[in-house]
Chains A and B, each alone.
Chain A
Amino acid sequence: MKADPKGVLTGIHFMDGNHAACEGALAAGCRFAAGYPITPSTEVVERFAARIPVVGDGVFIQMEDELASSIAIQGAVWAGRKAMTVTSGPGISLMQEHIGLAATYEIPLVFIDVMRGGPSTGLPTLPAQGDIMQVKWGSHGDYEIITLATSSPQECFDLTIKAFNLAELYRCPVFVLLDEVVGHMLEKVVIPEADEIEVQERLWTKKTPEEYWPYDPEYGMIPGMVKAGDGYRIHTTGLTHDHRGYPNLNTKTQYEMVNRMINKIKDNADKIIEYEEDGVEGADIVVIAYGVTTRVAKKAIEDARKKGIKVGLLKLVVVWPMPEKRIREIAKNAKALIVAEGNMGQLVYEVERLAAGNCPTTLVPHPGGGVHKPETIEKAILEAAK
């Protein structure tokens, strides 16, 4: 389906990442946003609040806290809307119970997280990439989510649309991560014509109310959706439930529910995964990074190449699910992997696991408050090449 032109601000803009992410959401058909102000993410909802009354047929509401905003959007999704909330670290921490609920309800939802330094109140106005594991594992129990990392305002626009599309296709929470600096960075953003933007429609059920149960798989492993008010009179719950959406608290139902929730992502990972490579084939050293760190890594790699080092970059656009097969392959052919990330070491453990001893993995950490210096990453490259 093509985007609804009402939400598409076609043109060439000079825009920061936060505003671009909001435009991406509107272009993708998001017509409901709930949020609670938090630096450095607030501009996203400020823009949504200003834009939605003129885009039409939509609402923004500022809720009383993040617990409320992260569940108000779930009510809106069950009412048939595309919906999102926007926050930063402390807010993502508060939302965790509802991320688990969204995964269990199996509803399409987008969470935009403009990351700041943590832990706790941390560094409200300064960047870090410390939420990368929390978005994956933050809620209790076993479930799967999708996460995209942006490194420029243009990507904030493009990847927010992609996030909404993936959410609809896989009926799960999808995170869009912005580093604080990406959220506040002004760059050129090209917004195409509405008919050049592909948006994924909800996977509405084709069944009648008599045949329908909310968790019967209909599109592959994915159940078809309905909305409140359509006469299906559904029930759903965060309790372990059977295909009817009714609580059924036993191991068999738990096993079936959790397995399908996980496998619908795992078995489709190849279709979800997106990464960019620069000179990885034949490289001795491969730097793996995401978000703004990829921009610094590029400079470091350029400089190291001038010194004759064969070094490539693997930029994770989709961080979760990870491109596991590709990282395993790379580890077999490279001499060393370097993970540069804006935290004290989080994704590096995943990479190390995938390298499986085939080559060493080095971490270039950053505690947050700024981004890496290219020289720091370059130094790690030169060290690994010895």
Chain B
Amino acid sequence: MSEKDMKETYEGAGVSPQDQADNPVDRILRQERMPHIWCPGCGIGTTVNCFARALEKLNIDLDNLAVVSGIGCTGRVAGYLKVDSFHTTHGRAIPFATGLKLANPKMKVVVYSGDGDLTAIGGNHLIHAARRNLDITVILVNNFTYGMTGGQYAPTTPFGSIQTTMPYGMYEHQFNIPKLVAAAGAVYVARWTVYQVAHLTRAMTEAIAKKGFSLVEVMSPCPTLYLRRNRLGEGIDEVKRFKEWAVRKDGADVNDVGISRDKPLIIGKFVDIERDEYIDLMNRQLSKKLGDRYTLYGVENGEV
């Protein structure tokens, strides 16, 4: 996105010009690694802006934040953030994060990765992490494609879309990601697009603050390998389209939020429930069985 387009996008979602001037992303980026690798018009950078704002709002100690990415264009996010940040292997950011969080429960752990990484090769880890309800947050950037490898079809590619390995148009069914993770046990699930930056930022804030497994699906343009190939224009065209296409339905039944290019794109907060968290459950069960022989794990001053 151009500077001007970006500005319009933010204004569209009600971020004040003042806020834009004082961009918290500058404080969290590894400046020595700029410029980043993302194409002009790519939405991933916008998601990172929102993430930086979310962290600012949460006012958390960045020393206690770890960001873990898999592999892909989105997978490069970890490498640009000036926090403890880990670029892992394709699909395995979640189990890495699981080990990190379990080994040091005082860390806030965020997994930041792409739709292919998290739902295809890493799909099994995604549902098991939701099932366990360990306290981690997943930011899933859905650009309908495998960007990094040149635009092959993903489990998210809409019907009819052309991709290099689907040259005559997508005919496989898609994952409905909110439904998938909600069914597996996620306690917070939201979907926004890079157009609604203020909502997206708030959702990230809520997800990180929420105890248990939370996921924010962010719809994001990949102009280079998805949009152009499907004659859908540039990044900004998709962002504008998001504005028309998206219909906000908080609390929507996750059965109804599957994505199709010729149906409204349902966005909003779909799931926000309470369910026992992994370490709490472990502590409860082990104390019950072992009594005094067990010392609560990961507990400081009586707080997990």
A contacts, CB < 8 Å to B: 32, 34, 53-54, 56-59, 61, 63-65, 67-69, 71-81, 83, 97-98, 101, 227-239, 246-247
Contact = CB atoms under 8 A, between A and B. Distances in A.
A34 B286 CA distance: 18
A63 B294 contact: no
Interface residues of B, number: 41
Nearest to A237: B87
A365 to B, nearest CB: 35
B89 A233 contact: no
B175 interface: no
Given A237-B79, A238-B87, A246-B79, A57 B104 contact: no
Given A72-B96, A75-B100, 17 more contacts: A32-B99, A34-B99, A54-B293, A61-B99, A63-B98, A64-B95, A65-B124, A67-B91, A68-B124, A74-B99, A78-B100, A79-B107, A81-B104, A97-B89, A233-B63, A233-B83, A237-B86
The 5 closest A-B pairs by CB, nearest first: A75-B99, A72-B99, A75-B100, A79-B103, A237-B87
Given A53-B294, A68-B95, A229-B63, A75 B87 contact: no
B87 A54 contact: no
A249 B83 CA distance: 22
Given A63-B95, A64-B124, A83-B103, A75 B82 contact: no
A228 B66 contact: yes
Contacts of A61: 98-99, 102
A61 B98 CA distance: 9
11 contacts: A56-B294, A71-B88, A72-B98, A75-B68, A75-B97, A75-B98, A80-B104, A233-B83, A235-B86, A236-B87, A246-B33
Contact of B79 (A74, A80, A247): A247
Contacts of A234: 84-85
B30 interface: yes
Contacts of B95: 63-64, 67-69, 71-72, 75
A230 B63 contact: yes
A75 B67 CA distance: 11
B179 interface: no
Contact of B102 (A32, A227, A235): A32
A75 B96 contact: yes
B294 A54 contact: yes
A86 B201 CA distance: 41
B102 A236 contact: no
B99 A83 contact: yes
B202 interface: no
Contacts of B96: 71-72, 74-75
Interface in B29-52: 30, 33
B297 interface: yes
Contact of A229 (B99, B107, B128, B294): B107
A352 B79 CA distance: 45
A230 B103 CA distance: 14
A235 B302 CA distance: 32
Contact of A228 (B78, B82, B107): B107
A235 B99 contact: no
B275 interface: no
